[in-house]
Amino acid sequence: MIDMEKDMPIPKQEDLHGIAELAKEQVKLTKELADLENQVEKKKAELSQIAEVALPESMLNVGMTLFVLDDGSKLAIKTFYRGSIPKGREVDAFAWLDDHGHTDLIKNEVKSSFGKGENDEAQFLTDLLEKHNLDYESRKFVHPSSLKSFVREQIELGKELPLDLLGVYIGQRSEIRR
């Protein structure tokens, strides 16, 4: 058996100084990185304010949805959709989707993933697990990208949706293409 303390060389002063300097550099770089990440978040917020609020509002106020810049770049206003069923509203949202024929949007997960429209299979498995007194965890959800596509499709077809219940936000965003 090796005695680590006995077999370890006694560190030299310059080695200890080097270790301390590296530790100081790590602390400094960690702080600099945190500062840069803060700056990135602030810039993202500024960009979002211009791209999703100021520029679309300015253009739409004068009746424009397309603008060509001096360099030939095209500035266009596009509609975007975001959605995620709010926590605590899932039961009502799922009921609305069921009642309106959109059950296939609901995914079920029982330590295995079930795809859109596989509600019967998920229920069969949970019933089977309960019948045999087996513990399991399950969840039902609608994937945000599926919800976004569904909402876009329904809105473009002119159908009414409970946007608050589905956690949907519809906005305008400017896009610049060079």
Range 5-27 average pLDDT:
90
Does residue 25 have a pLDDT over 70? yes
Q: What is the pLDDT of residue 137?
A: 79
Round to whole Å and give the CA distance between 134 and 110: 12
Whole-number Å distance between alpha carbons of 169 and 157: 17
- pLDDT at residue 136 in the model: 76
What is the model's pLDDT at position 3?
A: 60
| Half-sphere exposure (Cβ direction) of 117: Cα atoms closer than 13 Å | 3
Question: Does 1 have pLDDT greater than 60?
Answer: no
Q: 163: exposed, middle or buried (C-beta count within 10 Å: 0-12, 13-18, 19+)?
A: middle
- The amino acid sitting at 56 is P
Q: What band does 155 get if pLDDT is binned at 50, 70 and 90? A: very high
| Contact status, residue 98 vs residue 130, Cβ threshold 8 Å | no
Domain boundaries, the chain: 12-60, 65-177
Whether residue 77 contacts residue 159, with contact meaning beta carbons closer than 8 Å, is answered with no
Q: What is the pLDDT of residue 107?
A: 94
Which pTM value belongs to this model? Answer: 0.64
